């Protein structure tokens, strides 16, 4: 496609990753040909452009323009996929979390990332699988049976945080979860870091039922934030109380907010009901203010329909948000699924592509590089022209980003002036 000079410059700005000083090159300096940050930046940019394997990354780096090479920190020579593998296999993940935070701070400073969906700001935490294998055992990975014969499945997951009140939906940080680890303990470790780095960007924290725990509610309130946690059977007392209050004590409760939309021929209606629990001693979550009940009804083109019932406990005081905003907070939680989680799997190949499985550290390094790449392409997509008031499809965004990075900007400027 034809790429404008402004698009090229914007792509180069996004590709200039602010690598943290803790990202140390462990290679013997006598044999170094390619700068470390250039190799890591090149892999991140290639992931952002949809290149899932190291061989495809090599092809991508062979084609980038001179401006992109300078922005990424690459030399004139193209690194081979073997070189890339060796770098990842021996690279420590130290400093990569700080690099992602520096990337986020840069996007916020340039007003690419902002709370355009809800000014109050919402950060969503959610767990996701990052790597699995049935033939490669990696120390520290969780192991389980994947079939009736008991064949082993090794896997790592991650708890990730996403600013879902921004249409960019940047991935803020993550914690890798292996054996003898869980999402709730990871949340209590990760949340203070998120508050320290981005506390001014959000007031509301959302998490699914896996994070619904009294300890997590206390951590959130200790940092003066409001939580919204999904409630399911893992909290049997609270789940039973919510069901009882909504369907027995207040069976005729009014619908407080409602949305209706059509997607793929289906009509989806979401309705919000709420009850105050501020003075209800049966709810022993720190500073709990309300129980929410969201009823989602999906009608198929043939007229058949199905309803889903979801409960939530929240510390948001009644009246702090409008009822429409409260319903939007519930919907925003799924922004982490539609944003980084889906894109990491389907576009960046996190579920299927395994560039390096040498160790837990190398798997984590690849995971961080994919996050950098996701934030790059997500920021690029957010600034691209919309069609029918909808964002550019992810595949198209990756194609246009690749095209912009392939252009020799200096030659393009000369041609434009002539």
| 406 and 287 both lie in a single domain | no
In angstroms, the CA 153 to CA 146 distance is 6
Does residue 227 form part of some domain? yes
Could you say which DSSP state residue 258 is in?
Answer: E
The enclosing domain of 105 has a CATH number of: 3.90.350
Does residue 147 form part of some domain? yes
| 200 and 160 both lie in a single domain | yes
- Select from 286, 315, 342 the last residue of a domain: 342
Does residue 354 form part of some domain? no
- The string of pLDDT tens digits covering residues 86-139 is 999 999 999 999 999 999 999 999 999 999 999 999 999 999 999 999 888 999
- Select from 327, 342, 357 the last residue of a domain: 342
pLDDT at 415 over 50: no
Model pLDDT, residue 314: 98
List the domain range (segments joined by +) for residue 69.
5-91+384-417
- The string of pLDDT tens digits covering residues 309-335 is 999 999 999 999 999 999 999 999 888
| 68 and 211 both lie in a single domain | no
CB contact burial 217-231 (16+ within 10 A = b; e otherwise): bebbbeeebbbbbbb
Does residue 351 form part of some domain? no
Q: pTM for the full model?
A: 0.94
| 335 and 394 both lie in a single domain | no
Phi and psi at 139, nearest 5°, equal -55, 135
| 168 and 131 both lie in a single domain | yes
pLDDT at 414 over 50: no
| 313 and 246 both lie in a single domain | yes
pLDDT at 418 over 50: no
Does residue 234 form part of some domain? yes
Contact 374, 343 (CB under 8 A): yes
Question: Is the pLDDT higher at 289 or at 73?
Answer: 289
Q: Which of 167, 38, 172, 186 is nearest to 114 (CA)?
A: 167
| 70 and 167 both lie in a single domain | no
Does residue 364 form part of some domain? no
Domain count, the chain: 2
């Amino acid at each position: 496609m034809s790429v404008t000079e402004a698009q090229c410059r914007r792509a180069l700005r996004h590709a200039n990753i602010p690598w943290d000083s803790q990202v140390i090159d462990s290679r013997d300096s006598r044999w170094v040909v390619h700068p470390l940050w250039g190799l890591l930046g090149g892999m991140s940019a290639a992931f952002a452009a949809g290149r899932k394997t190291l061989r495809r990354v090599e092809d991508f780096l062979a084609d980038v323009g001179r401006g992109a090479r300078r922005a990424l920190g690459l030399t004139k020579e193209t690194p081979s996929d073997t070189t890339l593998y060796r770098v990842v296999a021996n690279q420590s993940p130290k400093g990569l979390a700080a690099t992602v935070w520096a990337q986020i701070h840069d996007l916020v400073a340039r007003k690419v990332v902002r709370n355009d969906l809800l000014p109050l700001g919402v950060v969503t935490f959610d767990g996701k699988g990052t790597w699995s294998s049935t033939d490669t055992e990696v120390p520290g990975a969780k192991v389980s049976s994947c079939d009736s014969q008991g064949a082993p499945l090794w896997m790592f997951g991650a708890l990730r945080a996403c600013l879902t009140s921004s249409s960019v939906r940047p991935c803020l940080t993550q914690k890798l979860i292996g054996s003898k680890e869980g999402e709730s303990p990871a949340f209590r470790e990760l949340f203070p870091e998120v508050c320290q780095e981005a506390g001014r960007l959000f007031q509301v924290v959302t998490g699914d039922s896996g994070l619904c725990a009294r300890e997590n509610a206390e951590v959130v309130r200790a940092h003066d934030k409001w939580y919204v946690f999904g409630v399911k059977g893992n909290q049997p007392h609270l789940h039973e109380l919510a069901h009882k209050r909504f369907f027995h004590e207040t069976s005729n409760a009014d619908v407080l907010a409602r949305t209706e939309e059509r997607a793929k021929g289906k009509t989806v209606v979401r309705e919000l009901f709420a009850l105050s629990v501020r003075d209800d001693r049966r709810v022993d979550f720190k500073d709990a203010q309300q129980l929410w009940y969201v009823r989602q009804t999906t009608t198929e083109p043939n007229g058949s329909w199905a309803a889903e019932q979801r409960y939530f406990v929240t510390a948001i005081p009644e009246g702090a948000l409008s009822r429409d905003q409260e319903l939007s907070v519930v919907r925003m939680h799924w922004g982490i699924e539609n944003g980084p989680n889906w894109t990491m799997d389907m576009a960046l190949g996190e579920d299927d592509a395994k560039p390096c499985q040498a160790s837990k550290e190398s798997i984590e390094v690849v995971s961080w590089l994919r996050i950098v790449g996701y934030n790059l392409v997500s920021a690029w997509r957010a600034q691209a022209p919309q069609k029918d008031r909808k964002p550019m499809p992810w595949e198209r965004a990756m194609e246009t980003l690749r095209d912009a990075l392939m252009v020799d900007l200096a030659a393009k400027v000369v041609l434009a002036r002539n």
